[in-house]
Structure 1
Amino acid sequence: MKNTLRAFLYLFLIGLTAQLHAQSTPPTIPGQLVLKLRPGQSPAVLETALHTLAAGALNQKFPHAAAPSAERPGSVDLRGIFQFRTTAALSKARAVLLATGAVEYVEPLYIRQPQYQPNDPFADSTLTSLTVSQYYLKQIKAYRAWDITRGDSSIVIGITDGGFRLTHVELAPQIKHNYADPINGLDDDRDGYIDNFTGWDVANNDNDPGYDVAIVHGTLVAGVSSARVDNGQGIAGLGNKCRFLPLNIYPNTPTGTFAGVEAVVYAADHGCQVINMSWGGPGGYSQFEQDAMTYAAVNRDAVLIGAAGNTNADLDFYPASYQHVVSVSGVDNTDTKVGSATFSHRVDLTAPGVSILTCYGYHLANGGGPADNDYTAVGGTSFAAPLVAGAAALVRRQFPTYTSDQVAARLRQTTSPTDQLPANAAWVGRLGTGRLDVLAALTRANLTEARVVSSTFAPARAAYAPGETINLTASVQNLLAPVTGLTVTLTSLSPYLAVTAGSFAVGSLATLGRADNATAPFRLTVAASGIPLNAKATLRYRLTAAGGFQLDQYVDVILNPDYVVLDANDLRLTLTSRGNLGYDNIFGTVGAGLSYRGSGNLLSEGGLMLATTPTRVSDRLRSTRGQMRQSFFSLRQATRQQPGPRADQEARIAFQDSIPAAGAAARSVGVAVRQRAYAWATPGRRDFVVLEYSLKNLTADTLKPLYAGIFTDWDLPTPDGAAHNAAAYDSARTLAYSYALGQLPATPAPGTYAGLRLLRGGAPAVYSIDGAAPAGSPVRLADGFSPAEKFRTLSSGTARAQRTAGLPNGSDVMQVLGTRLARLAPGDSATVAFAVLAAPTLAQLQASSDAAAQLYATVLPTRASAQLAGFSAYPNPTTGLLRVEVPADFGLREIQVRNTLGQLVRRQVASGTTATISLTGLAPGLYLLKMQGTDSVSSRPVEVR
């Protein structure tokens, strides 16, 4: 069973390797999340929040991690990181846990792939001759380097990988054993691991990191860095006398999980001075993973080496692209970039990565078992990286007082340049400083390397809008010999980002000295227009100093994001170009969310839904199994105007779904949406944003009816930090809202009320959803949100509005507020509008709701659509009598008049196409006239004099 699982995993991973560069987000471990507590917080404060998420117990990931030290600036604390299991979506878990104020981040656990790539079709064949040349040892000057030092058994390289043939003749003598914990069933050294005598299987949590017939990647990698030298057999590992610690990171049991990051921490905690990571994937930046890398490099002073990946693309590849990791790409025997190797500004250096002869331990020997003395030639950055790891081990032996950052600097500053080669012209500046030269790394004197070690942008944003001004503070550290005349010059390589103040004269810095330009930061200005959507602008730091030192580093900035943030008032709301509110994805990572008066995010998910039948539904909301529907696509970028023609801030957005194909089973509605949003900074208008949607029928058929609504999953903070929320509906105002509950059942807690009011459309639809609804409920989001369930929430009218949901003790509640448009002919348009609201009390929420309704009726008049033709009310202004006329098919039933507070002041039953209502006795001022029809409502402002 163990071998079968491993064989399946290996074939699966290798099959994905060629496709990795096309993925923006790597796979994750299902149902497992990781969080980090803020300093001084206890796991106990999350008990209620975890119960709300139906989460399992918190398990401290690194209970034996060392505390951060003031003597190591930049060190991190891993002791506050916990892993837990939950069926809740990441967006929900993030919202609930971050709302407690005790959590720094909540993230998924990524699965990173091995970077193995055969160099030709015969790479899997066992070599029949041991005379095959290790050409690369001469290329990187290893033989001469061994005349300087052959390393030492006290220097240990942690090989975090999978599939170690630990009995191989080249590897068995090189393993670093833990004699403090012999195999006797006891944790003799009290490090939390029983019998970890020969490394550890971190993925499966046992003491056997060894061989498997299906996965040989760990054997291949370990042979490159650590194969036995002078044993009269096979090959020589570059690390020579240095030992290695085998750490398995790939699961081979039903309970195992990928554990690359955990293996890095284990290696750092168990004395590995160098750690090799020949695995990874493009994209999926993780602060958890970065914390682990920082801990290993800064807290534990380990040199981290990462394979840059086999993508043949310019991209960030993790973990190699994290700070404190030396990123290694690959070249051939002529120092030309290997065709498959990743290239980027984040690559530090290259090493040979073609036909690397190494240990195999795979084919069967005469006795029938796996051989302990076979070899093979392989290729890929997986095998360039352990060459650099072996070199780092030799440098650590030669320069025992060096920090890990200094070792990395020496490796970078002693390479053989490769940019000048004509064959590498296409990758100049993206292959690091050059190809590894081990002899130079051990012997070259008077080396200089100062680096920018941190970049701080103010204001801190994930992306910057056109016209913004940015301050950038750079922190610089000198790693090697003292420097004089050090200057940092900042240059933009993008036409859309200008550097208006770009020079930082550092002066002199002693070895390991630091400086920053916080008092006079770099200044940047984003272009006002013409920027492509989500453009990546690259900034180049050029560090120069006396003696000819020059080093380039790069930092990227995202410009012109595909969303806008309205923040003119107390309600700060993100609007995306594809119909979502708060965030553009269910992970809560693209966008600024929704906040009120400086609060944390209050809306874990929100967005527009359209439907005509249970199968014809369009949205970009959660679906099943943690996925997100992708019905809407952007027609043009979301833009913000400040000030706008009718508000202090206005947004313009256009998107649509697909048009159903003739004769095919339709799953989309076929509507183009033109969205406008308005926010005001003036008193009385600071608690709401108005959203207006113009819906155009793109199909050849009349949509009858068309349902349109907004889904909201509010997460309002409560005293105990849990999702004890309730939902309610104010039918007099068509106001659907949520609020937090206090300690007593059914008792509102002081805090924020939030909700939506329908301002324009047809008959209202309201559906309140309890996140704890039992199996069999008509709508149950615990097992996903299907198109049929979405249709139900839009089409049930107010029958399932429920005056309250989540009572008496509170729950995770969601609501849909929508409207029913009786018909929308081909090519015709209709408009629906909502107000998004937040307020500290229910009374203020209601008052703001009324103010939004009045504002929409009086300040934001729009052209009458075809649907409203034939409606009139006159005379207007009036001193008493008001005559109302409606179309014959409207089905007039009732006329209402409400004041600016939304209070009903006149009501009259009516029918036919005309009616008269008396407004005599009403105080002069503005009122809202509402005409209720069979399937729709029409409203318009009326002035009484």
Structure 2
Amino acid sequence: MDKTLRLLFFLVFIGLGWPTQAAANPPTVPGRLVLKLKPGQPVAALETALRTLNASNAQQKFPRAIAPSPEKPGSVELRGIYQLQVPATLSLDRARAVLLGTGLVEYVEPLYIRQPQYQPNDPMADSTLTSLATSQFYLKQIQAYRAWNITRGDSSIVIGITDGGVRLTHEDLRRQIKYNYADPVNGIDDDGDGYVDNFNGWDLANDDNDPGYDINITHGSQVAGVSSAHTDNGVGIAGLGNKCRFLPLNIYPNTPNGSFAGVEAVIYAADHNCRVINMSWGAVGGYSRYEQDAMTYAAVNRDAVLVAAAGNTNADLRFYPASYDHVLSVSGVSSTDQKSPSATFSHRVDLVAPGVSILTVSGYHATWRGGPADADYDAVGGTSFAAPLVAAAAALVRWQFPQFTAAQVAAQLRQSTDNIDELPVNSAWAKRLGTGRLNVFKALTKTNLQEARVLASTFAPARSVYLPGDSVRLVVSVQNLLQPISDLTITVTSLTPYIVVRQGSFAAGNLASLARTINTTTPFRLVVASSGIPLNTKATLRYRLTGAGGFQFDQFVDVMLNPDYVVLDGNDMSVTLTSRGNLAYDNLMGTVGAGVTYRGSGNILSEGGLLLATSPTRVSDRLRTRAGQSRQSFFSTAQVVRVQPGPRADQEARALFQDSIPVAGSLARSVGVAVRQRAFAWASPNRRDFVVLEYTLKNITADTLKPLYAGLFMDWDMPTSDGSARNAAAWDSTRSLGYTYSLGLPAPSLPASYAGVQLLRGGSPTVYSFDNNAPAGAPVRLADGFSPAEKFLTLSSGSSQRTAGLPAGADVSQVVGARLAKLAPGDSATVTFAMMSAPSLLRLQAAADAASRAFAMPLPTKLAVSAPAFSAYPNPTNGPLQLELPEGFGPATVQVLDLTGRPVISLSTRGRQAEANLAGLPPGVYQVRAVGASRVLTRAVVVR
């Protein structure tokens, strides 16, 4: 493959993503998944589920991984992880639903593509400063010369460089490689490790034995030069690791069949005796349990020190793999210890190292630039080059303190830094640049350092987010990593006003080196504020660990509060409701929300939500459309809130949202309806299988909507014991109940075999059932998207399409709705549904009957009070509006409010009559409010 083609391939490759990939996450490998089986489960048990997904090439990722050991608390099992090839058009949420529905799988995830973290060597970049670019100033800055007087390391300490390929012939690298003499290049796997001729390392991305550099991916040579360039050879530069060796492992593809292999390289390095592993790559977001398992295996099972670049984002955020547990997150500073302009800062950063104008081995052949071959150097910048300085320091510490575990090496590096928070230039990032800047000399000589550390935080109840008013218990596991600590106390403090700490101190007492403790019997107690919390707030808690003699160490943990959804979980159904009409999740990735479950099942609703329509072009929803995207018709006007108990049920939820008002003379794509959503759940024995959803629809246009359709789209995924996803949909006309059920093998251990939606009130019932994978030409086919015309068809076809998936079963969806003959401007109508699930059809029908009875009971009401006459005419109006107040109302302020409650017109009147001009206001419904001395009157007015 020539130079240009390789570059094109690399750029195309890193830009591709899973079809439903959220924009906030890094790109993924198309058509490839990883899953982890639950302990003791064979992959053969998934055969039917894999066949349903058209999955192929299921391969065990790490068959040679060592098993977790009781002697290494926290170690993990990797042998249950498998990689699958699936159709590129298969959505991730669908794959998750099928595989998790078997009950045999812990997680299903895409494979993320992480990218190198460097700054380009352009004329205006920091890396070209003439006073620094020709010298290794950073060695003096981190006291490397003094450190080498203590130790220069040893060739038995190996740093795994997981990166782009390395120039194996460079004068400053070729003698520093850890060659595998047990497996010379002879076409035989002499050492029996499963890799043939891995003498120089391995190319994990392209699965061959050549980890040499690619001319377009030069990053690996530069990183290796920082950590491992040959010292005392009379030429070039000196790598901080000195006598320590490095193992080159290529993770970037340069062949058509290659793929990013950062995680695989970490496992390879750990399994091949790399005592330190460097990861100068990553991306914002995209937390992965698979990647966390890999990091835990390398750090705990294999006792390797993991070092990663914190990223070049100049933002406070999570960056992976640096932000995973057991990984040293390294950010960057300049030659004056000022934070690098682009460096990431956060509470998750452990320490910093120089990352500007770092002189290192060049990634390109000098002959291309007219110089001698393999004798060229460049100054580069970014956290990519701060990280290998810390990795090399870790290698020296491992040689100096051979008794240290990987966790202790990390603690020694953190506690021996030079504090830079006190520098005025860093005041804006204080406490978010870790413990300070790397000092290798202190790391090798300080033997009286202390560090106790919170290893794990366990919140109960265990939730990804907490709601206003929630009470939370917090248990922490603590370990002392270095010298003994007396009178250790852990205090938790909320750094936000939205969490109140009721009980925040834990006296751990005296802890010997490597001793552990936990506050199970005296957990911390927290209370979330009942109001005033902004949506999707990240609240930070600080752990302050203190001990006798002045020891103090801070750690931080984040808690998400007040999400834009609530969960009704007061009975056997647990239902997520969002502020904008969706059910189960607020995004197609299935990451925002808690799904829908029944009696502890996995999620049974892949996607669900409200559909409104008046024609094939006027449709409103937030459901899938095409190319992994969703429509965004609805916007929230009042966040969804949960009330417990409510006036009518044990749990209630309320939300207000609407779509846009069609503009006169333009092609209308929205319906023009404001929605008040209410949901009800009961805990009584005969009402535990359903949740009632009530939608009050108000016409906010100047025209009568006739007819208006309202319905719920439900992509149920009812599980089976064999994971076959053989579902069928049906219609019970007697109960106006549409439901989906499993046709797979009997599943006595699975509580949810049936689920459905019943129309309780409002309009004439409609139902439309269909196969999601219908062939081309079918009226509704989700494989090529879900168009507005298809959505309208599912709502407006009456009950002509009652069943789907028979006789063999299929992946089915169903829309249950109601037809309202007309809705005049300013008028409202209510449509009510019940969501339900049950282990059998008889139980589901009983739930439907109970839901009908429950909602037939009248709401508590107050005595009606006659409203005084308040006239506003003509209504609708083209602008002029005459107002007439009741007798004796007195002087008043009259306001015209839009649907958000914002005043758009205001005037005063002393008599009973007034005139307002509404000309110029957009068409729609407005509220006219008259505020008098003792009372307030309102009227709805439509502007044409």
Query: What is the TM-score normalised by the length of structure 1?
Result: 0.87
Q: Which residue of structure 2 lines up, in the alignment, with residue 142 of structure 1?
A: 144
**Cα separation, partners in 2 of 1:561 and 1:122, compared to 1, 3 Å:** closer
Residue 605 (1) aligns with residue 604 (2): no
Q: Which residue of structure 1 lines up, in the alignment, with residue 871 of structure 2?
A: none
Rounded Cα–Cα distance in structure 2 between residues aligned with 1:672 and 1:4:
55
Offset of 1:163 from its aligned partner?
Answer: 4.0
Offset of 1:862 from its aligned partner?
Answer: 10
Offset of 1:37 from its aligned partner?
Answer: 0.5
Of 358-367 and 473-482, more deviation after overlay is shown by 358-367
Rounded Cα–Cα distance in structure 2 between residues aligned with 1:248 and 1:704:
63
Rounded Cα–Cα distance in structure 2 between residues aligned with 1:167 and 1:554:
45
The C-alpha deviation readout for 1:617-674, integer Å capped at 9, x for no partner, is 3322233333333332222221011111122211101222334455544433333222
**Cα separation, partners in 2 of 1:123 and 1:855, compared to 1, 3 Å:** closer
Of 679-688 and 147-156, more deviation after overlay is shown by 679-688
Matching residue within 197, 207, 210 for 1:208:
210
Q: Which residue of structure 2 lines up, in the alignment, with residue 729 of structure 1?
A: 731
Offset of 1:701 from its aligned partner?
Answer: 4.1
Q: Which residue of structure 2 lines up, in the alignment, with residue 570 of structure 1?
A: 572
User: Does structure 2 retain, via aligned residues, the 8 Å contact 1:112–1:281?
Assistant: yes
Rounded Cα–Cα distance in structure 1 between residues aligned with 2:723 and 2:2:
43
Q: Which residue of structure 2 lines up, in the alignment, with residue 29 of structure 1?
A: 29
Aligned residue for 1:852, secondary structure, equals helix
Offset of 1:711 from its aligned partner?
Answer: 1.0
Name structure 1 gaps, 5 residues minimum.
17-21, 864-945
Rounded Cα–Cα distance in structure 1 between residues aligned with 2:790 and 2:368:
63
The C-alpha deviation readout for 1:673-712, integer Å capped at 9, x for no partner, is 2211111222332221111112233344443333221111
Q: Which residue of structure 2 lines up, in the alignment, with residue 96 of structure 1?
A: 98
Aligned residue for 1:294, secondary structure, equals helix
Paired amino acid for 1:172: R
Paired amino acid for 1:406: Q
The C-alpha deviation readout for 1:235-256, integer Å capped at 9, x for no partner, is 1111111111111112222222
Residue 801 (1) aligns with residue 802 (2): yes
Aligned residue for 2:167, secondary structure, equals coil
Q: Which residue of structure 1 lines up, in the alignment, with residue 890 of structure 2?
A: none
| Runs of 4+ in structure 1 over 6 Å off | 12-16, 124-131, 366-370, 747-750
The C-alpha deviation readout for 1:56-92, integer Å capped at 9, x for no partner, is 2321111111111111111001100111122332212
Q: Which residue of structure 2 lines up, in the alignment, with residue 740 of structure 1?
A: 742
Q: Which residue of structure 1 lines up, in the alignment, with residue 783 of structure 2?
A: 782
Paired amino acid for 1:265: I
**Cα separation, partners in 2 of 1:734 and 1:227, compared to 1, 3 Å:** same
**Cα separation, partners in 2 of 1:352 and 1:131, compared to 1, 3 Å:** closer
Rounded Cα–Cα distance in structure 2 between residues aligned with 1:239 and 1:127:
25
Name structure 2 gaps, 5 residues minimum.
17-21, 863-944
Residue 835 (1) aligns with residue 834 (2): yes
Offset of 1:742 from its aligned partner?
Answer: 5.0
Rounded Cα–Cα distance in structure 2 between residues aligned with 1:756 and 1:239:
65
Within-5 A mapping of 1:414-425: 414-425=416-427
**Cα separation, partners in 2 of 1:415 and 1:680, compared to 1, 3 Å:** same
User: Does structure 2 retain, via aligned residues, the 8 Å contact 1:602–1:714?
Assistant: yes
Within-5 A mapping of 1:473-484: 473-484=475-486
Rounded Cα–Cα distance in structure 1 between residues aligned with 2:23 and 2:773:
34
Rounded Cα–Cα distance in structure 1 between residues aligned with 2:91 and 2:529:
37
Offset of 1:798 from its aligned partner?
Answer: 1.3
Paired amino acid for 1:775: A
Q: Which residue of structure 1 lines up, in the alignment, with residue 306 of structure 2?
A: 304
Rounded Cα–Cα distance in structure 1 between residues aligned with 2:430 and 2:132:
37
Q: Which residue of structure 2 lines up, in the alignment, with residue 401 of structure 1?
A: 403
Aligned residue for 1:174, secondary structure, equals coil
Rounded Cα–Cα distance in structure 1 between residues aligned with 2:319 and 2:811:
37
The C-alpha deviation readout for 1:317-355, integer Å capped at 9, x for no partner, is 111011100001111111111111111111100001111
Within-5 A mapping of 1:58-137: 58-87=58-87, 88-118=90-120, 121=123, 132-137=134-139
Rounded Cα–Cα distance in structure 2 between residues aligned with 1:512 and 1:321:
23
Residue 859 (1) aligns with residue 843 (2): no
Rounded Cα–Cα distance in structure 1 between residues aligned with 2:705 and 2:362:
65
Rounded Cα–Cα distance in structure 1 between residues aligned with 2:606 and 2:55:
17
Offset of 1:98 from its aligned partner?
Answer: 1.4
Rounded Cα–Cα distance in structure 2 between residues aligned with 1:736 and 1:405:
56
User: Does structure 1 retain, via aligned residues, the 8 Å contact 2:338–2:426?
Assistant: yes
Aligned residue for 1:313, secondary structure, equals coil
Q: Which residue of structure 1 lines up, in the alignment, with residue 644 of structure 2?
A: 642
Offset of 1:491 from its aligned partner?
Answer: 1.0
**Cα separation, partners in 2 of 1:581 and 1:454, compared to 1, 3 Å:** same
Query: Percent of aligned positions with the same letter in both sequences?
Result: 72
Within-5 A mapping of 1:274-313: 274-313=276-315
Q: Which residue of structure 2 lines up, in the alignment, with residue 328 of structure 1?
A: 330
Rounded Cα–Cα distance in structure 1 between residues aligned with 2:664 and 2:151:
75
Matching residue within 529, 532, 536 for 1:527:
529
Offset of 1:616 from its aligned partner?
Answer: 3.3
Of 621-630 and 336-345, more deviation after overlay is shown by 621-630
Within-5 A mapping of 1:616-627: 616-627=618-629
Residue 466 (1) aligns with residue 465 (2): no
Of 556-565 and 417-426, more deviation after overlay is shown by 556-565
Matching residue within 484, 487, 509 for 1:485:
487
**Cα separation, partners in 2 of 1:663 and 1:504, compared to 1, 3 Å:** same
Q: Which residue of structure 2 lines up, in the alignment, with residue 444 of structure 1?
A: 446
Q: Which residue of structure 1 lines up, in the alignment, with residue 595 of structure 2?
A: 593
Q: Which residue of structure 1 lines up, in the alignment, with residue 761 of structure 2?
A: 760
Aligned residue for 2:337, secondary structure, equals coil
Offset of 1:568 from its aligned partner?
Answer: 2.0
Rounded Cα–Cα distance in structure 2 between residues aligned with 1:279 and 1:196:
23
Of 278-287 and 834-843, more deviation after overlay is shown by 834-843
Q: Which residue of structure 2 lines up, in the alignment, with residue 39 of structure 1?
A: 39
Offset of 1:552 from its aligned partner?
Answer: 0.1
Paired amino acid for 2:819: R
Aligned residue for 1:433, secondary structure, equals coil
User: Does structure 2 retain, via aligned residues, the 8 Å contact 1:361–1:371?
Assistant: no
User: Does structure 2 retain, via aligned residues, the 8 Å contact 1:14–1:116?
Assistant: no
Offset of 1:153 from its aligned partner?
Answer: 1.3
Paired amino acid for 2:49: A
Rounded Cα–Cα distance in structure 2 between residues aligned with 1:135 and 1:42:
55
Rounded Cα–Cα distance in structure 1 between residues aligned with 2:364 and 2:552:
47
Paired amino acid for 1:847: A
Rounded Cα–Cα distance in structure 1 between residues aligned with 2:12 and 2:119:
14
Offset of 1:845 from its aligned partner?
Answer: 1.9
**Cα separation, partners in 2 of 1:750 and 1:321, compared to 1, 3 Å:** closer
User: Does structure 2 retain, via aligned residues, the 8 Å contact 1:740–1:751?
Assistant: no
User: Does structure 2 retain, via aligned residues, the 8 Å contact 1:158–1:247?
Assistant: yes
Q: Which residue of structure 1 lines up, in the alignment, with residue 868 of structure 2?
A: none
Rounded Cα–Cα distance in structure 1 between residues aligned with 2:432 and 2:609:
41
**Cα separation, partners in 2 of 1:15 and 1:765, compared to 1, 3 Å:** closer
User: Does structure 2 retain, via aligned residues, the 8 Å contact 1:610–1:709?
Assistant: yes
Matching residue within 167, 177, 180 for 2:179:
177
Rounded Cα–Cα distance in structure 2 between residues aligned with 1:625 and 1:200:
37
Rounded Cα–Cα distance in structure 1 between residues aligned with 2:584 and 2:767:
21
Within-5 A mapping of 1:529-928: 529-741=531-743, 743=745, 752-802=753-803, 805-860=804-859
Rounded Cα–Cα distance in structure 2 between residues aligned with 1:276 and 1:6:
25
User: Does structure 1 retain, via aligned residues, the 8 Å contact 2:766–2:816?
Assistant: yes
Q: Which residue of structure 1 lines up, in the alignment, with residue 893 of structure 2?
A: none
Offset of 1:812 from its aligned partner?
Answer: 1.9
Paired amino acid for 2:789: A
Rounded Cα–Cα distance in structure 1 between residues aligned with 2:222 and 2:179:
20
The C-alpha deviation readout for 1:390-446, integer Å capped at 9, x for no partner, is 111111111112111011001001001101111111111101110000000011121
Q: Which residue of structure 2 lines up, in the alignment, with residue 378 of structure 1?
A: 380
Matching residue within 197, 200, 203 for 1:195:
197
Of 423-432 and 818-827, more deviation after overlay is shown by 818-827
Offset of 1:119 from its aligned partner?
Answer: 6.4
Query: What is the TM-score normalised by the length of structure 2?
Result: 0.87
Paired amino acid for 1:51: R
